[in-house]
Amino acid sequence: MIWLDYASMSSASSNNGPKRFIRQNIQDMAAYAPGEQINNATKLNTNECPWPASPKVFEAIAAINQDALRQYPSPASDTLRNLAAEHYKCSPEQILVGNGSDDCLTIIYRSICTNQAKVICPWPSYGLYDTLADIQNVEVLHVPYKINLSTDACTWQIDPHIGEVDAALCLIANPNNPSGTLEKRETIKSIVERFSGIVVIDEAYIDFAQEDEQRQGLISLINDYDNVVVLRTFSKSFSLAGARVGLLFSNPTLINEFNKVKDSYNVNVMSQIAAEAALADRSYHKKIVQQTLDSKAWLEKELTAFGWQWPPSEGNFILCHVGENAQNIYQQLKDRDILIRWWNTDELRNYVRITAGTPEENQALVDALKEICT
């Protein structure tokens, strides 16, 4: 029998206000800082697609019946999972559908990271990898990209020794955000072969790769290695960032374990229907991917005039090395309602990341840059 000690309990609520209820590592961590979402601005800051999703998506959403909203959605997004299996040439048992690929990442971290676990990633990369590690209270090791910057070229390469580090989880964005660089299949394969934990290959931008073969991505590695997870998203090339749908590919054993961790109904019915329609409309997808590539090519041609360098990008964005004026350029564009991305970190302070927009948005950007930089 335990007797409650009321006297000592009453003094427990004194310090630190309501924050005292929160885990110490959450109190200590910085929140993830997403790109700004400002209405009516020219948004070249969050790598969204500048064109709307397929008209079939809007037709499908408009046709939703009362029961679909009254009832809970399919817990495993079954129709979408089956369609995705056909599209990506794997079995439905190898797929988990997430509420954006951010949700897939959260599920992976929650499933794998114990207190002692370490997470590793080439750096700079997608900031959420760090935030999720902070939430789980695990250590993150950053392996710096090998960056080569000269007056006429800029390259970023993953240090292949990353595969030899002892850690539970290795996250590789391929193409990388923010550099847009794509590592070869052979490099990633050799990391997978040497790494003791799980390698997550985050292919959020793979549909924008130049070569058809590269656009296939590395989903097929899940058949050959039991420590591979590949992520895709509907947020970029399918223009459905607002719907929040991502796909996680791995072996059925890991998918089963991840399913225990995900929210039961993690993807709402409208998002499932939107993603199904977007995936089915292949010709529209092809069209907006091509428009994006044309837009990026136009931007690259125009930006050459400013004398900046950027690594070859296989994403829908360019990371320009602009030097010490980077913050000023970002701010002056923002004052003109044009948003691009700038990070106040040691590694990225001299860069700005620009998303390829519509021809009109690109023209507005270039006109503004001419005023600011000349």
Ligand X SMILES: Cc1ncc(COP(=O)(O)O)c(C=O)c1O
Residue ranges in contact with ligand X by CB under 6 A: 47, 100-102, 126, 173, 177, 202, 204, 233, 235, 241, 246
Provide, rounded to whole angstroms, the least separation between the CB of residue 144 and ligand X.
Answer: 18
Looking at beta carbons only, is 73 or 100 nearer to ligand X? 100
Which residues pair with residue 167 across a beta bridge?
Answer: none
| HSE-up of residue 22 (Cα within 13 Å, Cβ side) | 10
Looking at beta carbons only, is 330 or 369 nearer to ligand X? 330
Q: How far apart are CA 11 and CA 295, in angstroms?
A: 63
Specify the length of the chain in residues: 374
Q: How far apart are CA 108 and CA 105, in angstroms?
A: 5
Count other Cβ atoms within 10 Å, centred on residue 116.
8
Provide, rounded to whole angstroms, the least separation between the CB of residue 124 and ligand X.
Answer: 11
Looking at beta carbons only, is 76 or 204 nearer to ligand X? 204
Provide, rounded to whole angstroms, the least separation between the CB of residue 372 and ligand X.
Answer: 26
Provide, rounded to whole angstroms, the least separation between the CB of residue 104 and ligand X.
Answer: 8
Q: How far apart are CA 274 and CA 245, in angstroms?
A: 9
- Alpha helix positions (H), the chain: 6-10, 24-28, 55-62, 66-70, 78-87, 101-112, 128-136, 185-194, 212-215, 252-261, 269-280, 282-303, 326-335, 359-373
Looking at beta carbons only, is 136 or 177 nearer to ligand X? 177
Greatest distance between any 2 Cα atoms in the chain? 79
- Which residue from 250, 263, 252 is spatially nearest to 221, judged by alpha carbons? 250
Provide, rounded to whole angstroms, the least separation between the CB of residue 17 and ligand X.
Answer: 32
Q: How far apart are CA 247 and CA 234, in angstroms?
A: 8
Provide, rounded to whole angstroms, the least separation between the CB of residue 101 and ligand X.
Answer: 4
The conformation of residue 32, written as its DSSP 8-state character, comes to P
Provide, rounded to whole angstroms, the least separation between the CB of residue 244 and ligand X.
Answer: 6
Looking at beta carbons only, is 241 or 373 nearer to ligand X? 241
Asked if residues 224 and 217 have their Cβ atoms less than 8 Å apart, the reply is: no
Residue with the closest Cβ to ligand X? 100
* CA distances, 14 to each of 6, 21, 23, 156, 231 (Å): 15, 12, 17, 51, 45
Looking at beta carbons only, is 201 or 369 nearer to ligand X? 201
Looking at beta carbons only, is 341 or 368 nearer to ligand X? 341
Looking at beta carbons only, is 176 or 295 nearer to ligand X? 176
Asked if residues 274 and 60 have their Cβ atoms less than 8 Å apart, the reply is: yes
Provide, rounded to whole angstroms, the least separation between the CB of residue 285 and ligand X.
Answer: 16
> Which tokens is 167 given?
């850690």
